Amino acid sequence: MGGNQSREGDLKLGRDLANCRPSSLRVIPPAGGFTFVEIAISVGILGLVATAGIASLMTLSKNAANNRVMTSAKEVVQRNIEAAIGAPFTTASPPPNHILDLTVSASPFPHWDENGGTNDVVIYKSRDGTQTLTGTLIRSVIAESNPISADIRRVTFHLDYGDVLPSPIRSSNAR
């Protein structure tokens, strides 16, 4: 029996030695975190999303500026149409530079501003006054023939303007 006890002791000792490993062979569980590759991929994806977002904002800004200029141009023409419709008309002696004066049919028709002159009209002016867009308003008044020989005039307005305003994102003082 004594031999069996020592054998059991050896087995017990052997089992303990099998469970003991040197610290260099010990497996360390992975820490909770991200690898460098995962971080690099996520930064790249965020960069692509940011680039697309900035490009979309710039496009929206440019479209808003174009729409603002188009609306202002329509307002200028509409004001002149309303002035022509509401102008008193007599064939006896119209005032000089009247909105309903007949224009010469030769091209080009004279420029027309809202004060009866030939200056360019302001289509858009920024709130701070640093950006102004002007255009040329052309008015043509042509007598229309009719069976009763009434004095009927066709009034046409045409507004030409140059490039739209620069985008507000872009600096106007860029060199």
Within 10 angstroms of residue 1's Cβ, the number of other Cβ atoms is 5
**Over 50: is that where the pLDDT of 51 sits?**
yes
| Average pLDDT of the residues in 122-151 | 83
Name the nearest CA neighbour of 165 among 66, 67, 76. Answer: 66
**Over 60: is that where the pLDDT of 7 sits?**
no
pTM for this predicted structure: 0.59
What pLDDT, on the 0 to 100 scale, is given for residue 173?
40
- Higher-confidence residue of 138 and 16: namely 138
Rounded to 5°, angle at Cα 61 from 55 and 65: 145
Task: Pull the structure tokens for residue 73.
Answer: 């141009």
Instruction: Kindly indicate the confidence band of residue 110, based on its pLDDT and cuts at 50, 70 and 90.
Output: low
What pLDDT, on the 0 to 100 scale, is given for residue 68?
87
| Average pLDDT of the residues in 93-113 | 65
The percent of residues above 90 in pLDDT, for the chain, comes to 14
What pLDDT, on the 0 to 100 scale, is given for residue 39?
95
| Average pLDDT of the residues in 92-105 | 67
* Neighbouring residues of 118: CB distance < 8 A, sequence distance ≥ 6: 110, 111, 112
**Over 80: is that where the pLDDT of 109 sits?**
no
- Higher-confidence residue of 83 and 162: namely 83
- 3-state SS class at 160: strand
| Average pLDDT of the residues in 61-82 | 88
The dihedral over CA atoms of 55, 61, 63, 69, expressed in degrees to the nearest 10, equals: -160
CA pair distance 158, 138, nearest whole angstrom: 5
CA pair distance 165, 109, nearest whole angstrom: 27
**Over 90: is that where the pLDDT of 44 sits?**
yes
What pLDDT, on the 0 to 100 scale, is given for residue 118?
65
Q: What is the largest CA-CA distance in the chain?
A: 147
| Average pLDDT of the residues in 131-144 | 83
DSSP codes of every residue in 29-52: PPPSS--HHHHHHHHHHHHHHHHH
What pLDDT, on the 0 to 100 scale, is given for residue 116?
60
